């Protein structure tokens, strides 16, 4: 069982819909991330939360709204998306600070905007 769990695994939504992606980590990490991976493109960092505080918003459009209610949970709220937002959205966590370790990924949510 993965230490980072994402739901749903697949999502199809219309451009006027509102949906949320959920991520939960069971590793006791203090940093969580949202990445976007479009076809044939590298992973793009979207947001970083460290100790539940957003420390990075990588020029992401406001139609993507993250929420981190506690160190184990991370959400990505979606509204009025565009077809070009269709991609694999990956959540990751790591033990930040001086004892930095690698990032552990969830299985991703494959999003299709129609």
Partner 1 sequence: RKEVEQDPGPFNVPEGATVAFNCTYSNSASQSFFWYRQDCRKEPKLLMSVYSSGNEDGRFTAQLNRASQYISLLIRDSKLSDSATYLCVVNLLYNFNKFYFGSGTKLNVKP
Q: Can you give the binding site for partner 1, defined by CB under 8 A?
A: 31, 33, 35, 41-43, 45, 48, 50, 55-56, 88, 90, 92, 94, 96-98, 100, 102-108, 110
Torsion over CA: 25, 2, 64, 81 (sign)? negative
Judged by beta carbon, residue 56 or residue 82, the one nearer partner 1 is 56
CB of 55 to partner 1, least distance (A): 4
Compute the distance between CA of residue 7 and CA of residue 23 in angstroms, rounded to an integer.
7
Closest to partner 1 by CB, 82 vs 100, is 100
- Least Cα distance to 21 among 54, 3, 46 occurs for 46
């Amino acid at each position: 069982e993965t230490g980072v769990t994402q739901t749903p695994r697949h999502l199809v939504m219309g451009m006027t819909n509102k949906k949320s992606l959920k991520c939960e980590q069971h590793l006791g990490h203090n940093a969580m991330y949202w990445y976007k991976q479009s076809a044939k493109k590298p992973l793009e960092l979207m947001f970083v939360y460290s100790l539940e505080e957003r420390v990075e918003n990588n020029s992401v459009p406001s139609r993507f709204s993250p929420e981190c209610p506690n160190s184990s949970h991370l959400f990505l709220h979606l509204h009025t998306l565009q077809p070009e937002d269709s991609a694999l959205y990956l959540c990751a966590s790591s033990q930040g600070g001086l004892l930095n370790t690698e990032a552990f990924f969830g299985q991703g949510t494959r999003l299709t905007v129609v």
